[in-house]
Amino acid sequence: MSDDRTIVLGFAVPVADAVLEPVALDPSQIVAGTPEVSELVLSESADGRVVRGIWQMTPGVVTDTEADELFVVLSGRATIEFADGTVLEVGPGDAAILTEGAETRWTIHETLRKVYQATV
């Protein structure tokens, strides 16, 4: 049996300069503005449940239902409001954890770029 997958033991990516691909944003999620989302998946587990990558969104307001995620903000600023009233203000250098199923409202004040690991 042949397996064409290459095993990569490690790699590094210049995150600030990485070229991201546009991702369609469900219009029903947009609350205000004309936000655009882009992403670069860096790695994915064999079963597809764990994804690591770079994500970016331009200014605007959107709603989301979260995955189990850890992320670090590289640039930009955002306010993340949770349905229970919790509010996170995030900016460069901040690490945040989101819980699967959490209902959120993201207000992107300045284009936000983050590096993340999510379990879906």
pLDDT digits (tens, 9 = 90+) for 15-71: 999 999 999 999 999 999 999 999 999 999 999 999 999 999 999 999 999 999 999
Average pLDDT across the chain, whole number:
94
| Among 38, 40, 39, residue whose Cα is nearest residue 11 | 40
Q: What pLDDT does residue 2 have?
A: 45
Domains delineated in the chain: 21-119 (2.60.120.10)
Report yes or no on whether pTM surpasses 0.85: yes
